[in-house]
Structure 1
């Protein structure tokens, strides 16, 4: 009798256990029932241009998966941009990290929320958000709306909190968030010099020093020309590096970035005198309307075409600025006169020795100006390194140059990027320049009242 009861009880217990396991297995398939409903692209300005850095997938309810990230392989991301355009871009994107978030932004940390953030590999060719029209050498930007599709092709979550794969639910991107760029305000100034100068400006949020915030004025290169009031921020980091969280934490500052248009007869390139006059008028107008600008710490930086404008502006208005960083520069009409005018003005210049767009050795190049400075008896610090070295190694060499300049009492540092070592191609010496915290630290250390 006892044996029979024991057997019956065991069978009953096994049946209950099997039922419980079956229920658990069923629950593990899809307890949340969440469905992907939308996607937002997140762009970021990289050293070599605008990239789609992430996709934020929105679900129809909050996802709670704990703190461990999701399986990146559970998502497929495809690109189809510029159909019928000059440079169609079609392919796949590689997901490098996936995590939930309460907001559609890159945080790197998983938190409960309606969004799944997919960080993407920015080194792959399909990461770009732009293309160059080589007939004009102008950079153009894809219309990203609707250009990406995303599908959850694998289960995500763990234990009894799992959202089952939904490979047939293909979501098309409907919006774009441009990191940093969207934080810039839009402006336009009808100058007495003639041009109507469109510009963007960034306002700092940090605590200003007692004399106010510094102001950085950036002059873009030819490729960022146009009338969209966007390219001067998106083309490279000449402007956005100064607005980045890291730089603003160290040096909260205004950033002012106008746009030139060489194809507009009412405007022109930065080497046009009326555009140089317009820049000065813009700076003066901006300072007048922002009384918290520290007028002893206004800085100028320009690359390529922007360096042409910078050299011309500095020769006429160096008293307006405290220091300058010029990159792959040229166009100086009289290097001896420039050397005499700028003998006491702090300049750090960077140029690739094999630059085939703005010749390093050409008459009127920044190299020739520094030669003239040294010939006139002005102390110059010469430095040279590979642009392909890791950033940390480049910064060690930059620190050595800055230290030597301080010891020698020199206001002038010239850095040569060794031939064959400039990232992407030889004209892009701005990549190692604006990636260097040491060069930016040096710039912010300049003060016209010291």
Structure 2
């Protein structure tokens, strides 16, 4: 009988040890170990990847896209690749690492993080409610098993473009303008300054939307562009206004000019002969307005999907779109400035007539350095207003812009 009790005790102890061993070798990750990475593409900011930090290294070749599921709100995102990285910033694939990167398809219909508020006519950054689940058990290089998880809500968002631009505020008497400034890597010689003016959808004071609404600022700060021409990039944000006037709201371009002057004064390596201006939609109209007010200041400009503003002019309606007819006196002021305008023929917001008539008015005034690219109907899709998606991907246009300097 005594032997029987001893044997039973040994069996129970063995079972207990096995349970402990199993418990120790089976782990789970939680919400604190996951983060969402966003990036800005042609159509604006998208959720681009998820990073899960594991306590131990994983082997990249042992991971598959079916090991995880990702949701934006209640809708799933398509996973394109899963791999490990040795760091959780500026990630690059590695054979093994603690950081598991889940790359998402940027073309998913629910990839965009911004929603457009038609009443206020502005974007809001609302689509950041993400969750990720580990759907299969996976093992570390040490053999530790990590069990499946329920969907883990993601609280941490990493947005590299916001980190690469310094945030600041410019004040001129009672006027306040938020802005972001990208500074190039240090090097000898003077460097150009490029100013990007956002559209109506990015009006506000969060000092973020002007970098997230389009890929304008990012176009000029990519490693490939900066390798060719080290440049400063200034992205100001015009305050919100109910009338949707934005950059042609009274006094805003005067404040902007003072901001530009201040940035140049603060950075003695900026080449004052190479100040470039580009803008989209309302920012394109702001571009024309800035050129008219400062015709001897800028080396060249790229207005996209806008029109020339003239105080007191009345809007002309063409279907759902509108524009302002150019003023001949203003157009004459621009005849010496290199300008390349872009717009889609079927733009439903700002009529292409705004750009076409502005360019013709400058040419009629004797301008030899102005040109226009009109995208045929159907080429800019699904949003024909967003012709900047084509223009900023035109490498020839970027080369054209940067070749100029004031004589």
Q: Fold-level match, TM-score > 0.5?
A: yes
User: Counterpart of 1:444?
Assistant: 402
Aligned to 1:348: 340
Instruction: Output one character per residue of 1:298-326: Cα deviation in whole Å (capped at 9) or x when no partner.
Output: 11111111111111110121222111110
Counterpart of 1:371 in structure 2 is: 360
Runs of 5+ unmatched residues, structure 1: 1-28, 81-89, 380-410
CA shift for structure 1 position 172: 2.7
State the secondary structure of the residue aligned to 1:286.
helix
Counterpart residue number, 1:187: 168
Q: In the alignment, which residue of structure 2 is the partner of 1:222?
A: 200
In 1, Cα distance between the equivalents of 2:99 and 2:350? 46
* Map of 2:221 onto structure 1: 243
Name the counterpart of 1:319.
296
Q: Secondary structure at the match of 2:290?
A: helix
Q: Shift of residue 122 of structure 1?
A: 1.0
**2:271 counterpart (294, 304, 327):** 294
| Number of the residue aligned with 2:283 | 306
Cα separation, 2, equivalents of 1:375 and 1:425: 32
Equivalent residues of 2:122, 2:200 under 8 A apart: yes
| 8 Å CA contact 1:32, 1:161 repeated in 2 | no
Residue-by-residue CA offset, 1:177-214 (whole Å, 9 max, x unaligned): 1022221111111114x421111111111535x2x111
1:152 to 124, 134, 150: 134
Q: Does 1:60 align with 2:42?
A: no
SS at match of 2:155: strand
How far residue 34 of structure 1 moved from its aligned partner, in angstroms, is 5.8
Match of 1:76 in 2: 69
2:317 is aligned to: none
1:138 to 101, 104, 122: 122
Q: Which residue of 2 aligns with 1:41?
A: 36
- State the Cα distance separating 1:373 from its structure 2 match: 2.8
Once residues 349 and 173 of structure 1 are traced to their aligned partners in structure 2, the CA distance between those partners, rounded to angstroms, is 41
How far residue 113 of structure 1 moved from its aligned partner, in angstroms, is 2.2
Partners of 1:99 and 1:116 within 8 A in 2: yes
Partner secondary structure for residue 69 of structure 2: strand
- Counterpart of 2:249 in structure 1 is 272
Q: Residues 85 and 92 of structure 2 are in contact (CA less than 8 Å); yes or no, is this contact kept in structure 1?
A: no
Partners of 2:120 and 2:242 within 8 A in 1: no
Structure 1 vs Structure 2 CA RMSD: 2.5
**Aligned mates of 2:65, 2:151 — CA distance in 1:** 17
Q: Name the TM-score, length of structure 1 as normaliser.
A: 0.76
Shift of 1:61: 2.1
**Cα displacement string for residues 313-344 of structure 1 (whole angstroms, at most 9, x for unaligned residues):** 10121222111110011133344223321111
C-alpha change, 1:339 and 1:105, in structure 2 (3 Å) is same
SS of the equivalent of 2:295 reads helix
How many aligned residue pairs are there?
Answer: 369
CA 1:30–1:296: 2 relative to 1, 3 Å: farther
Cα distance change, pair 124–276 in 1 and its aligned pair in 2 (3 A): same
CA displacement, residues 370-393 of structure 1 (integer Å, 9 cap, x when unaligned): 1123333433xxxxxxxxxxxxxx
Partner of 2:177: 197
